[in-house]
Amino acid sequence: MGNRYFEVLERASSFLEKHGKEGYSILFVFLERKGWTKTDWLLHLKDEITCADEQQINEDLKQLANNYPPQYLLGYGDFYEQRFLVNEHTLIPRPETEELVDRCLKENPNQSLTVVDVGTGTGAIAISLKLARPNWQVTAIDISEEALKVAKKNAQQLEAEIEFIHGDALKPIKNKRIDIMISNPPYISNAEWALMDESVRTYEPKTALFAENDGLAIYQRLADEAKDKLNPEGKIYLEIGFQQGEAVKELFQQAFPQKQVEVAQDLSGNDRMVIVSTKKEEG
């Protein structure tokens, strides 16, 4: 009798663990490729493995051992209960960014608002907002034409009507005032390079990750450009690096002295968002 599914996957998983990688990732990729649920897996794990499946596992194993992200292998990642196409031109959407989307939705009603997502990547933020708030007019901007191709495909597949613009920061926004600006911009400083996961350093797009001036360059630009483009009652939602809270808060407080600027934490307790909103009424 040939090898059984669980034997092949167990060996692959141990191999990854031994090389300091996430052992579960090979099973995750395998189940996704097969379209199997955990129950399917329990039913089939003692079956004899097909040659094609064994070959696919070996190919995937090589890639995972080289730190290639599972989402790039599969060509998609999940975000805010939707599935988004990803490739090496886009960042892989992260759970922390779901918290940014969540916060924005909780604090803003489904009325006609002009919303701009800067540095849209896969389109995950813009599309998630539009699906949850159909009355919002959502514009998504990215400096990478390749990323925009992916974002447009995602919007089409998920049936979200969004205006996509190729451009840099808020420059392309000419004739409209913004009610909400939201962004997960490049914010990793060169000094933090060594702390980055090997797979991120090797495969994810550098322009979407790194920023000059300790990772603050893009925030300085956004604060500056938003001054002229944000409605007086407008709000800003930003994802930040865990060490940038105070610096980013200060940049936006200087740009918007009349507004309330706060640093908010993610579920792990790290500083992860800066939110600029209208001053709370006294009393």
Q: Residues within the annotated binding site for S-adenosyl-L-methionine?
A: 119-123, 142, 184
What phi and psi, each to the nearest 5 degrees, are found at residue 6?
A: -65, -30
Give 228: exposed, middle or buried? Use CB within 10 Å, 0-12, 13-18, 19+. exposed
The residue type of 4 is R
The annotated binding site is made up of 119-123, 142, 184-187
CA gap 51, 150 in Å, rounded: 33
| Residues 122, 104, 185: CA angle, nearest 5 degrees | 45
The annotated binding site for substrate is made up of 184-187
H-helix or E-strand containing 237? strand 230-239
What phi and psi, each to the nearest 5 degrees, are found at residue 181?
A: -110, 130
Q: Which two tokens stand for residue 239?
A: 């994802």
236 in helix, strand or coil? strand
The candidate with the shortest Cα–Cα distance to 235, out of 273, 282, 194, 267, is 273
What phi and psi, each to the nearest 5 degrees, are found at residue 171?
A: -50, -40
| Residues 117, 120, 122: CA angle, nearest 5 degrees | 140
CA gap 154, 124 in Å, rounded: 8
Structural Rg of the chain based on CA atoms: 21
Report DSSP letters for 127-191, one per residue: HHHHHH-TTSEEEEEES-HHHHHHHHHHHHHTT---EEEESSTTTT--S--EEEEEE----B-GG
